[in-house]
Structure 1
Amino acid sequence: MKIAPSILSADFANMARDIRTVQEGGADMIHVDVMDGHFVPNLTFGPGMVAAIRPVTSLPLDVHMMVDDPEQWIPAFAKAGADTMLIHVEATPHIYRAMQLIKEHGVKAGVVLNPGTSLAAIEEVLPIVDQVLIMTVNPGFGGQAFLPAMADKVARLAKMRAARDWHFAIEVDGGISDQTIASVAKAGADICVAGSYVYAEGDSPAQQINKLRVAAQ
């Protein structure tokens, strides 16, 4: 299981420090939540933040774009240093074209599903994507409670992947802790995003990341 700490829960005044802390603590990638205040009711980071943190870490930057009209932002985030760009199927009527555009910029392409969106909505792009992100909370804010029904959604997606011999990674985001990670790991998830659990709860980020790995096993 790969662990991707979300910097949405980091100390914004000490972002470089908090990114280095999770890298040294064993994180596999850094998850960057981009929100525009329209697609979701929160406002966070733009390409400038990605460009600022790119020199700080050697870890892949997993950029989750919760924005309307995401295609217009692809070139800027690619230039800023994103390694993966994840776009919501609900945010564009042209999700296949969006995935192609990301790849044309030399970046891995990921598609995202809100809790209420069926897997059928992304079936046509599954052969060309690198990642599928299943939201396990409603997107917009950190610290929300995990939605248990989403583990079954992950399991169904994993079965689809195996049946078609597809090779995308399955990622989950929302409410991930040492109490919830086992269910999505068992269902077939490969990457877990954890924000408040890593940065805001209990022990040091390194210890929190280790707890997640142990629980996932």
Structure 2
Amino acid sequence: MKRNVKLSPSVLSADFTKLGEEIKKVEPLSDYIHLDVMDGHFVPNITYGLIIGEAIKRVTKVPVDTHLMIENPEMFVDDFCEISEIVSVHYESTRHLNRLINRIKDHDRKAFVAINPHTIVELIKDVIMDIDGVLVMSVNPGFGGQKFIPNTINKIRTLDEMRKELGLTFEIEVDGGINEETFKSVIKAGVDIIVTGNYAFSAEDPIDVLRRIKEFNPD
């Protein structure tokens, strides 16, 4: 049965000289706008912060999906909850993951846990009952345009099997290296939300790219 896969285009790959226009290009088929927040410590790059998220909120009604790739996310999570529908924090970035998940949920926001390519799914089993989703990194976080890591497919399948066995409804999101071939593989594996950066924003017709993902039937 064809599933309704959600799309979360990442503005990391947008042209920031005309960010509003870039968002409008993908808006019609976007379920979220993905905000990659990097601090130059947790990952080897610095991107942008709350001010860009607030600007996005002013130009679109599409909900914001914030991915915090930062050390000490406890310092900023409340602010990003103010502008986001989803807030993802990394398993690897905090010593008190359960507490942070609860803080996000206290804001009535969806709490996702992000895991790096080297992090095995089993490490988040103790919080799996409490979260709204898992963001699986399919590249090493820090830069756009990287090549998809094949083992990501196995991680998505494991998460899909885990939620079925436990009767849970958390969503599986994937971020990194999405292109014409990899989007088909992740959908077949059981993903619910696809983050796409270069694949959409570098396309001559971003809506055509997003439509191909939306209309793909794995059966």
Confirm or deny a common fold (TM above 0.5).
yes
2:73 maps to which residue? 70
In the alignment, which residue of structure 2 is the partner of 1:18?
Answer: 22
Other-structure match for 1:103? 105
Q: Residue deviations 1:87-117, cap 9 Å, x none?
A: 0000001111110011112211000000100
Give CA deviations for 1:120-142 in whole Å, capped at 9, x if unaligned: 21111111111110111110000
- Aligned runs of 1:175-190 on 2, under 5 Å? 175-190=177-192
How far off is 1:214 after superposition? Answer: 3.7
Shift of 1:215: 4.1
For 2:211, the equivalent position in structure 1 comes to 210
Using the aligned pairs only, state the percent identity.
42
How many angstroms apart in 1 are the aligned matches of 2:8 and 2:80? 18
Q: 1:216 to 1:50 in 2, by over 3 A?
A: farther
Q: Deviations over 1:155-207 (max 9, x none)?
A: 01100000001111100000011211111111110011000000113x31111
> What is the rounded CA distance, in whole Å, between the counterparts of 2:11 and 2:217 in structure 1?
21
Structural RMSD (CA): 1.1
Deviations 1:15-48 (A, max 9, x none): 1111111003x11111100000000011112111
> Residue type matched to 2:102 in 1?
Q
The corresponding residue for 1:2 is 6
Structure 1: 4+ residue segments shifted above 2 A: 211-217
* Alignment-mate amino acid for residue 74 of structure 1: V
Q: TM-score, normalised by structure 1?
A: 0.95
| TM-score, normalising length: structure 2 | 0.94
Separation in structure 1 between the aligned mates of residue 164 and residue 52 of structure 2, nearest angstrom: 36
Q: Give ranges in structure 2 of 5+ residues lacking alignment.
A: none
- SS of the counterpart of 1:110? strand
| Aligned-residue offset at 1:60 | 1.4
Q: Which 10-residue stretch deviates more, 139-148 or 206-215?
A: 206-215
Distance, in Å, in 1 between the alignment partners of 2:64 and 2:214 is 20
Match of 1:27 among 4, 27, 30: 30
What are the residue-to-residue correspondences of 1:106-121 with 2, within 5 Å?
106-121=108-123
